[in-house]
Amino acid sequence: MMTRAAPPLLLQLQSAETASSQIKALRALKNALIGHDQKKEAYITGGIIPVLAQVLTTRWPGTAEFDQSISQSDRSTQTAPDDLEVCLQATWIVGSLAQGGPTFLSPLFASNILPTLITILSSPDCPVSVGLPILRLLNTIADRLPLQSQEQWPRDTQLADLVFAPANITALRRIISQEYKSMHSQTAIELAAALIGKLCTEETHKTALAELGVLDALALKIASFVVAKGFVLPGAEAHLKEPGALEALPLPAPESAKLAPILRAVAVIIEQSKWRAEHFLSSPGIVTVFPKEVPGFAPSDIKKGPWGSTYLSGSAVPRDRGGNPMDQLLPSVPLAHTKSSSNSANFPPLGHGGSQRRANHSYPTPFSLPEKPMPEDDENAVIPWLLCMIRSESGMVRLMSARLVTVLFRLGLAKKHRILMLSYLVIPILVQMFEKDFRLPDEEGDIYDGLLSPTQRLKEEAPAVLAHLVVDDQELQKHAVEGNALKRLSQLLKETYNPITEHSRPMWHAEDVPARDLESLPQECRLGPSGYSPTLCHVMRYRENILKALAALVPFKDEYRKAICEHGVVPYIIDALKPRPSDAPANDSMPNNTAKDGNPTPTILAACGAARMLTRSVSVLRTSLIDAGVAQPLFALLHHSDVEVQTAATAAICNLALDFSPMKEAIISSKIVPILCKNARSPNTKLQIESLWALKHMVYDTGNDIRMNIIEGLYPRWILEVIKQDPLRAVVRRGVDDESDQGSGFAMGRSNSAGEQVDILNPVPDAAQWDEDLKMTDTMPPSKMSLDMFLPDARRRRKLALYGTLAQTTQSRQDDIAVQEQTFDLLRNMVCGRDANEMIDYIFMELGENGLLDSLAATLRPRTIQLPHRRESGAQITQTLHVPNEIILSAISLIIHLAAGHPRHRHLIAFHRDLLPSIGNYFNHSSKDIRSSCVWVVINLIYEEDHHDYEGCRDRAIRVRSLGLGEKLASLKDDVELDTKERTKTALHLLNKLAPV
């Protein structure tokens, strides 16, 4: 219930009964509000937003579902001109309110006015005169969404959830798929694409945009630019009748049309998903202008059969394709290419295997993807076309072309030799954008509201593109560093701490309003916190992307990390770790941009990634990072309200906890261990993994009292539950599931169309095989440039859904495996080093001798599963399930250290009913590390450390011999790996000495 008197104009609007009187009142309101934040506040507290929502609902029948049987001509008469004008004026007023910034967004989100406006936009009869203002309004709100902060502005995707609801995605598809008929249609297309580029961050939204045809509509727009710029491949017209292609080349885009928002939207949708990227490359528009070249045959090789059909002679050989014609437009690059070793990280990880697989990404990614490169002949011509755009265009088109080609390259959809083109063409252009005097003409701007200049927008995003391009690739990192990227980025990071020159005054009030009166207002009548100003938001995003780029350049080379220190930016990185204080004034939109003013959450995440990369260097860790005080800010972030920040901070702390780190004692004395133990039991799997990783480093060669405290903090029961989990349980459950997956693809673990078994532990099928298997499904309907054309056909839709499911399932399985792997490694590090025997006794007491050893034996035990045969009703097939290598190696490594303990510990292991028989299955494993570890188990069990243990060693040797492990050892005498072969000689010598045949 409102406690303040409503302004006169608002009362006039409330009392207006006819559309004409409402129009008059709305126009007066609009003129009164534009540019007057004080009046906007008064009208919001007076209840303008619910009043506008009511006006829109009553004057627009499109807020209800239309009968699909009504013809388009009939629909156009559903809304009277005056009603349209009412909706238009109301939309402009809402847009004016949104222009005020984050403080005015809270009441908008608290009301139903945005869902009402989006429903109007999604109505089939929404005219362009109303649709354009709504699209502009949504872009205005997207531009002014506050940066995520710890207290005032938590992570919020409610606008994206509204815009990307299935019904509204259909409207976006309709808008984007229309032809460039006029400036209105052109503007609508670009605004819709820009909205996707600004809002689409969630995997669910990206998948929905691909499945519901928006990605195909965007691909057709790109194809229209290809036609307009004359890049259609020669002979493309001959492929127009082929399945999946359009019946005609797309109409060329007008010269005034903007390509950048289209490229940005495509890049945003396909990022982190090879399957969505392949869906884009197979879109009708792309297939039409860039058809896949088919190998030709000589006329003499083509024979005609008796019924008129043709076939190839037995000696037919396809002619050489001769390369992509688009490559002729690109400059030649040097052929010399030496790939540096990717295993030069300063810190060798403790233990075997799993640590070496840890991603070097310095900022969070949803999930890892296979980086198998595209075969040389299968690269789509989009790649060289984008490279041509990078060379010939400028401004945001150039940057977005670089972003899209980077995404495709990182997903393995580019040729191997493209790395040279990226090194010599793309990287210098990106580094040039870091120059202080780099400027763009104002007319080159994308669709923005004047918050920032085109140059500011471009400079803000360029470091993020470079970061994504060079991450995990030493050759690209080398070219960027040699191009002076580190020095320029370091200078830019310092400049982000310069005082903000923007002038902003706090909102003036004629009278002070008691806080209790404001709190009594409904949410849609209350202003929210102001958030950062547009300029400060730009600075924070700029800082975030610079930190990402710095982190991406230095994961492998210690000299690069030292260069960052020499440039003097380590203190600035540490300052970026500090969040905005929770007691900061809610309406303080203009802090002084100093370290004490803090940073929003995305900047903190990037700073954690940069700190993590720097802590890989022992010398940097012992000097610059200690001097800058890196530990305390990271420790404080473990208490952050955002779980992603906790995870990123823990990942950086992992390197601080190493045995030779000077900060290891600081971690222990700062009472961080209980926090890590608590986070290790977190329901968030990523936080679990990083916390276990840090604890694994911390317990190595430390006092037993600390180790015991960690066991108590993790809870012995929880440890047992983790190590008892079957790493194959999810696969087994999926494999024996009913035929519920048949409509969306093939269930893992079942035979494919050829009767062959798909590897259910590594469910990433061969792309060509799946393409062949799905060729007999529905083909693309005849193209008439209609809206239905952009809804993917059944084959492509089924393939997209299948691959998306496989990616999620695979990532979930990998996370579960990683948690169990790190738990085994934690126990292994606890039972090595000083006072190991005492610690083994403690673990056996807490976890139970049988509980631990039974779990190890069960983990290593091979198993099979009975699966139904898809072709023969009632038939069963047996599928062997392979334990993941990471788990095998971690479990056996723990057994190695247990077998190095007291003779009574060795006896328990040797005479356990199932443990050694289970290990015996892995002596001939394909992994050299696993083979070598199996040999080490035997050596530790029968090695005589004390002459008093001779009889015990002899008994254990006889046990080893009786289980047939002697023969398995003999089979490794000539192993291809020298380490395994030498260890085998030692084991056989001991075995023959104690238990001769």
User: What value does the mean pLDDT of the chain take?
Assistant: 80
Closest residue by Cα to residue 382 from 420, 411, 351: 411
What CA–CA distance (Å, rounded) separates 587 from 918?
65
> Could you write out the DSSP letters of every residue in 216-256?
HHHHHHHHHHHHHTT-PPTTGGGGTTSTTS-SSPPPPPPTT
Q: How far from chain centre, in Å, is Cα 883?
A: 27
Kind and range of the H or E element at 881?
Answer: strand 876-881
Q: What value does the mean pLDDT take over residues 167-189?
A: 93
What CA–CA distance (Å, rounded) separates 222 from 405?
14
C-beta of residue 995 within 8 angstroms of C-beta of residue 957 = yes
Q: What value does the mean pLDDT take over residues 968-997?
A: 92
* Phi, psi of 401, deg, nearest 5: -65, -40
Range from 241-245, 445-449, 963-967 carrying the lowest mean pLDDT: 445-449
C-beta of residue 59 within 8 angstroms of C-beta of residue 116 = no
C-beta of residue 940 within 8 angstroms of C-beta of residue 906 = yes
Which of 335-349, 700-714, 723-737, 876-890: highest mean pLDDT? 700-714
CB count, 10 Å around CB of 758? 21
Angle at 332 between CA 327 and CA 335, to 5 degrees: 115
Q: CB-based contacts of 776: which residues, under 8 Å, 6+ apart? A: none
What CA–CA distance (Å, rounded) separates 511 from 988?
92
Q: Kindly tell me the burial class for residue 708, based on how many C-beta atoms sit within 10 Å of its own C-beta (0-12, 13-18, 19 or more).
A: middle
What CA–CA distance (Å, rounded) separates 910 from 906?
6
Q: What value does the mean pLDDT take over residues 85-92?
A: 92
**Model confidence pLDDT, tens digit, residues 354-363:** 444 455 555 4
Q: Give residue 239's pLDDT band: very low, low, confident or very high (50, 70, 90).
A: confident
C-beta of residue 71 within 8 angstroms of C-beta of residue 123 = no
Query: Across the strands, what pairs with 599?
Result: 579
1-66+76-144 and 899-997 have identical folds: yes
C-beta of residue 637 within 8 angstroms of C-beta of residue 672 = no
Angle at 142 between CA 141 and CA 146, to 5 degrees: 85
Q: How far from chain centre, in Å, is Cα 185?
A: 33
What CA–CA distance (Å, rounded) separates 132 from 642?
37
Extract the tokens encoding 457: 């927008």
Angle at 916 between CA 915 and CA 920, to 5 degrees: 125
* Phi, psi of 866, deg, nearest 5: -95, 120
What CA–CA distance (Å, rounded) separates 834 from 701?
6
Range from 225-234, 479-488, 619-628 carrying the lowest mean pLDDT: 619-628
What CA–CA distance (Å, rounded) separates 266 from 219?
8
C-beta of residue 867 within 8 angstroms of C-beta of residue 735 = yes
Instruction: Kindly tell me if the per-residue pLDDT of 532 is higher than 90.
Output: no
The amino acid at residue 254 is P
Kind and range of the H or E element at 864?
Answer: strand 863-868
Angle at 684 between CA 209 and CA 354, to 5 degrees: 95
pLDDT of 263: 97
Q: Which has the higher per-residue pLDDT, 355 or 841? A: 841
Instruction: Kindly tell me if the per-residue pLDDT of 428 is higher than 90.
Output: yes
Extract the tokens encoding 971: 């089979």
Q: Which residue ranges make up each domain of the chain?
A: 1-66+76-144, 153-231+245-275, 324-336+368-483, 486-501+530-629, 899-997
Which of 261-270, 386-395, 441-450: highest mean pLDDT? 261-270
Cα radius of gyration rounded to whole Å, the chain = 32
C-beta of residue 169 within 8 angstroms of C-beta of residue 212 = yes
Q: What value does the mean pLDDT take over residues 162-188?
A: 93
What CA–CA distance (Å, rounded) separates 878 from 867?
6
pLDDT of 645: 94
Q: CB-based contacts of 73: which residues, under 8 Å, 6+ apart? A: none
CATH architecture of structural domain 1-66+76-144: Alpha Horseshoe (1.25)
Instruction: Kindly tell me if the per-residue pLDDT of 279 is higher than 80.
Output: yes
Closest residue by Cα to residue 934 from 946, 944, 926, 922: 922
Parallel/antiparallel/unpaired status of strands 302-304 and 310-312: antiparallel
Instruction: Kindly tell me if the per-residue pLDDT of 67 is higher than 60.
Output: no
The amino acid at residue 311 is Y
Cα–Cα distances in Å, from 449 out to 460, 526, 534? 16, 25, 11
Instruction: Kindly tell me if the per-residue pLDDT of 27 is higher than 60.
Output: yes
Closest residue by Cα to residue 657 from 645, 646, 669: 669
C-beta of residue 543 within 8 angstroms of C-beta of residue 599 = yes
Q: How far from chain centre, in Å, is Cα 519?
A: 39
Q: Which has the higher per-residue pLDDT, 322 or 835? A: 835
Q: Which has the higher per-residue pLDDT, 647 or 665? A: 647
Angle at 757 between CA 752 and CA 761, to 5 degrees: 115
Instruction: Kindly tell me if the per-residue pLDDT of 646 is higher than 50.
Output: yes
What CA–CA distance (Å, rounded) separates 60 from 83?
7
**Model confidence pLDDT, tens digit, residues 880-934:** 778 899 999 999 999 999 999 999 999 999 999 999 999 999 999 999 999 999 9
Q: Tell me the CATH class for 899-997.
A: mainly alpha
Task: Dihedral sign for Cα 749, 754, 756, 761, please.
Answer: negative
Range from 421-430, 518-527, 631-640 carrying the lowest mean pLDDT: 518-527
* Phi, psi of 352, deg, nearest 5: -100, 160
Structure-token match 């250290």, residue found: 897
Is 948 strand, coil or helix? helix
Q: How far from chain centre, in Å, is Cα 66?
A: 38
What CA–CA distance (Å, rounded) separates 596 from 201?
30
